[in-house]
């Protein structure tokens, strides 16, 4: 029997207070009517109104969302392929290099990744803009996708796919009808991870964005460098809200999907 | 054929957008700064044939690296980045371990919720999480207001724009990376081992040091690397929370590139940063490999 002591309760309480209080304070102060962000002067939604009239922020938000949707979708396709290679392809020439290139970007300092991609884009004469940010984001987020998907593929029962092949499926059909539905929760969480990484990225985007395209994190960074501003608090609150709703919904959906799939797998094995 | 395509597409992508860019960084780190577009020399013109390539190679040298060793700004920045990363890794471990430990001892039906509560901040923008501390730590900020109110201090403490703020920011943003691997190691632990240790005469504290800590070693190592490696190159936290005295190499590189537009020196800074990190990266991968083998 595990013992849950008073010490454990205190660590959890303090730990979660530490994790959540700063964000809670940020959210509360976004409704402060004072321009002075540290003095409470009454409830107001004024900063949300001003934010919605700030064209520069809206433009940047639109660029950021486009980049995130496109890059995370390409990254999911490439990352799933890479996961299949890592788990299934067996030995081939250059395998060590391949897995090195998958795992290295996960811990690589962003300044190095950003600098190297920028120098590449300049070297080949590609104008910096939305396209270069998409290429950069796809590259690092495909590695995250492949790590997420390969951890699901490892525990995947291959006999299900073999059964489909025995029953006359082509390998592609077997993948589409058997493997893909089973690994779908991992693929979806990989996409979500890639999407948030792209939304969130400041350093790599700073290197690869040109004057024609600015993302939201770049805009936020240049604004907060000058100090705390109530408009940024409002923007942060909106972003925290979206993420919270998104993560909770996604985890509920994926939990249900995983449970259903486990039941189906079990039923298939029994039958 | 199908297998070939499956391997070739992601492989080619990573070669073109991950490996080749590094080779370019390495090459430019050996070039000289020039007032031109692009701002370095020599540039390679393959149409010149073999002679052009030979001439190009002969113009590359390690001058930038020599320069980096001579200017002590860079040495200090590397050393101070490694020091800040080490100290903050230890602090994150000290804060994260009790949380992971408590999560692993919580009732099983609570664990998924606790896990989600740890992961949720990780999905929230990194930039926003760092920014949240700017309002709390400033001289007129909430922390000072609170401390003044309690009477613990009579004058506001200067925390923002010091290394203390950088440590707080790092521990805060990297905490989930420390908690998750330790939790997953502790969760698998069999509690009867602790009972056995206590039956054999260990005190609870001894049992913790002799059983729990060694069994969560892999998680501790993974967590420490996951914090240490990216923190060495951290840019956002020192720029927003640190002061002029906070010297970190990620910030130096960023400024060298954008403010001074010195590409060859920025590239040399990046190459050395990578050399410093290559050993921890390899050790980390080996630890992960070991963990995978132990599981499989």
Query: How far, in whole angstroms, is CA A101 from its chain's centroid?
Result: 19
Query: B108: buried, middle or exposed (CB in 10 Å: 19+, 13-18, 0-12)?
Result: exposed
Q: How far is B253 from chain A (nearest CA, A)?
A: 7
> What pLDDT sits at residue A204?
94
Position B68 pLDDT exceeds 80: no
Of A103, A138, A225, the CB nearest to B285: A103
- Checking if the pLDDT of B75 tops 90, the result is no
Task: Render pLDDT for B159-213 as a digit per residue (tens, 0 to 9).
Answer: 888 999 999 999 999 999 999 999 999 988 888 888 888 888 888 888 888 888 9
**Mean pLDDT over all residues of chain B?**
86
- CATH number among 3.40.50.300, 2.40.128.20, 1.10.3720.10, 1.20.20.10, domain B71-295: 1.10.3720.10
User: Considering only residues 100 to 119 of chain A, which have any Cβ-Cβ distance to chain B shorter than 8 Å?
Assistant: 100-105, 107, 109-112, 115-117, 119
CB A68 within 8 A of CB A141: no
Report which of A119, A268, A136 is spatially closest to residue A202, judged by C-alpha positions: A136
- H-run or E-run covering A93: none
pLDDT of residue B66 exceeding 70: yes
For the ranges A113-127, B67-81, B161-175, B258-272, the maximum mean pLDDT occurs at: B161-175
CA distance A42 to A24: 17
Of A197-211, B29-43, B98-112, B264-278, least confident by mean pLDDT is B29-43
Mutate to test the interface with A, among B1, B13, B146, B287 (most CBs of A within 10 A): B13
Instruction: Inform me whether the pLDDT recorded for B134 exceeds 70.
Output: yes
Between residues B155 and B289, the one the model is more confident about: B155
Contact B250 A119 (CB under 8 A): no
CB A117 within 8 A of CB A138: no
Per domain, the residue ranges of chain A are: 52-270
Q: What residue spans define the domains of chain B?
A: 71-295
Tokens of A136: 């950069």
**What is the pLDDT at residue A34?**
81
Cα torsion at A137, A140, A141, A147 (round to 10°)?
Answer: 170
Give B58: exposed, middle or buried? Use CB within 10 Å, 0-12, 13-18, 19+. exposed
- In the CATH hierarchy, which fold is given to the domain comprising A52-270? MetI-like fold (1.10.3720)
Residues above pLDDT 90, as percent of chain A: 38
Distance CA(A240)–CA(B98), nearest Å, equals 27
Of B3, B20, B102, the CB nearest to A89: B3
Q: Higher pLDDT residue, A36 or B135?
A: B135
- CA dist A105 and B14 (Å) reads 10
What confidence tens digit (pLDDT) does each residue in A149-166 have? 998 888 888 888 888 889
Q: Tell me: the pLDDT tens digits for A1-24?
A: 467 888 999 999 999 999 999 999
What is residue A82's predicted lDDT score, i.e. its pLDDT?
95
Instruction: Reply yes or no on whether the pLDDT at A238 is more than 60.
Output: yes
What's the gap in Å between the CA of A26 and the closest CA on chain B? 6
Q: How far apart are CA A93 and CA A228, in angstroms?
A: 53
Q: With beta carbons less than 8 A apart as the criterion, state whether A197 and A76 touch.
A: no
**Model ipTM?**
0.85
Mark B128-146 as b/e (b = at least 16 C-beta within 10 Å): bbbbbbbbbbbeebbbbee
To the nearest whole percent, how much of chain A has pLDDT over 70? 99
**pLDDT surpasses 60 at B296:** no
């Amino acid at each position: 029997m595990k013992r849950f002591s008073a010490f454990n309760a205190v660590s959890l309480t303090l730990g979660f207070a530490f994790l959540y209080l700063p964000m809670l304070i940020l959210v509360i102060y976004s409704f402060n009517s004072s321009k002075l962000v540290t003095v409470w002067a009454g409830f107001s939604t004024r900063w949300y109104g001003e934010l919605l009239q700030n064209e520069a922020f809206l433009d940047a938000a639109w660029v950021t969302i486009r980049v995130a949707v496109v890059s995370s979708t390409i990254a999911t396709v490439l990352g799933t392929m890479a996961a299949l290679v890592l788990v299934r392809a067996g030995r081939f020439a250059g395998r060590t290099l391949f897995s090195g290139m998958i795992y290295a970007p996960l811990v690589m300092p962003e300044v190095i990744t950003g600098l190297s991609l920028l120098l590449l884009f300049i070297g080949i004469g590609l104008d910096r803009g939305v396209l270069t940010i998409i290429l950069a984001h796809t590259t690092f987020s495909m590695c995250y996708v492949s790590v997420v998907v390969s951890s699901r593929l490892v525990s995947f029962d291959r006999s299900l796919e073999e059964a489909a092949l025995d029953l006359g499926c082509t390998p592609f059909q077997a993948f589409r009808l058997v493997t893909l539905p089973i690994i779908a929760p991992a693929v979806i969480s990989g996409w979500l991870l890639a999407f948030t990484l792209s939304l969130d990225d400041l350093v790599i985007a700073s290197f690869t964005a040109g004057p024609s395209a600015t993302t939201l994190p770049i805009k936020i960074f240049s604004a907060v460098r000058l100090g705390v501003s109530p408009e940024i608090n409002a923007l942060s609150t909106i972003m925290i809200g979206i993420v919270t709703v998104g993560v909770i919904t996604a985890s509920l959906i994926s939990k249900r999907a995983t449970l259903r799939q486990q039941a189906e797998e079990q039923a298939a094995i029994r039958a | 054929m199908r297998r070939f395509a499956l391997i070739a597409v992601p492989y080619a992508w990573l070669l073109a957008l991950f490996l080749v860019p590094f080779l370019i960084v390495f090459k430019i780190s050996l070039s000289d700064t020039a007032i031109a577009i692009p701002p370095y020399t020599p540039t390679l013109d393959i149409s010149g044939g073999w002679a052009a390539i030979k001439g190009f190679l002969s113009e590359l040298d390690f001058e930038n690296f020599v320069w980096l060793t001579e200017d002590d700004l860079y040495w200090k920045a590397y050393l101070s980045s490694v020091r800040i990363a080490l100290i903050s890794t230890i602090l994150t471990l000290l804060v994260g371990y009790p949380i992971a430990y408590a999560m692993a001892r919580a009732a099983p039906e609570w664990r998924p919720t606790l896990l989600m509560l740890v992961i949720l901040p990780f999905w929230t923008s990194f930039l926003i999480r760092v920014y949240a501390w700017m309002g709390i730590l400033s001289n007129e900020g909430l922390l000072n207001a609170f401390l003044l109110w309690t009477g613990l201090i009579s004058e506001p403490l200067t925390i923002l724009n010091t290394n203390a703020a950088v440590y707080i920011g790092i521990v805060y943003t990297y905490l989930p990376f420390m908690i998750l691997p330790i939790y997953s190691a502790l969760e698998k632990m069999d509690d009867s081992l602790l009972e056995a240790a206590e039956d054999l005469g260990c005190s609870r504290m001894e049992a913790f040091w002799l059983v729990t800590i060694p069994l969560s070693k892999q998680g501790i190592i993974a967590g420490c690397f996951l914090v240490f490696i990216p923190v060495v190159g951290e840019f956002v936290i020192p720029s927003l929370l640190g002061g002029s005295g906070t010297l970190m190499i990620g910030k130096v590189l960023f400024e060298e590139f954008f403010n001074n537009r010195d590409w060859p020196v920025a590239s040399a800074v990046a190459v050395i940063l990578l050399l410093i990190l290559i050993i921890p990266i390899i050790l980390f991968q080996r630890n992960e490999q070991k963990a995978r083998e132990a599981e499989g």
